[in-house]
Amino acid sequence: MTRDQQLAAACAAEGLDPNEALQIGGQYVALLQHGQEIHISGQIPRVGSQVVVCGRVGESCSEAEAQRAARIACLRALVLLYQHLGSLDGVARILRLNVYVQSAANYTRQSEVANGASALLYQLLGEAGVHVRTSVGVYQLPKNAAVELDMVAIAA
């Protein structure tokens, strides 16, 4: 399967449509390209108008649910790239991924949550999806989302 077909299948499994405009929540742009560098604003696990994975990881949200949240947020970022470039073939490389995990006080496995997004990038983009990453625990995220992530990519 092509990158775009794999994206469509992964999106369908989560109820996303890669051809629909994604809802954002404020006075900003979701994607900004400067030269070949593309910056993706923070994405939460929103499907349509609903945030589908909420809560504090290690309390009201399990690690497996948080990994799914990271995957959905990453799919949203990839959909933005797909829509902007016309195809995921236009992505030469994912440079950086930052993953913020709404964490319980004693929860320290933020990197395992972030693996939900990192694995998806490698699955869909192969070596072009290999990236540097920061994963951090935070007290709160917008809309009570369990995870938020942002990304930097390079256009082909």
In terms of Cβ atoms closer than 10 Å to its own Cβ (0-12, 13-18, 19+), residue 52 is middle
User: How many other C-beta atoms can be found within 10 angstroms of the C-beta atom of residue 49?
Assistant: 7
Please give the model's pTM, rounded to 2 decimal places. Answer: 0.97
Each residue's pLDDT tens digit, 2-43? 999 999 999 999 999 999 999 887 889 999 999 999 999 999
pLDDT at 82 > cutoff 80: yes
Contact, 31 vs 23, CB < 8 A?
A: no
CA–CA separation, 134 and 69 (whole Å): 16
With a CB cutoff of 8 Å and minimum separation 6, the contacts of 30 are: 22, 24, 40, 41, 43, 80
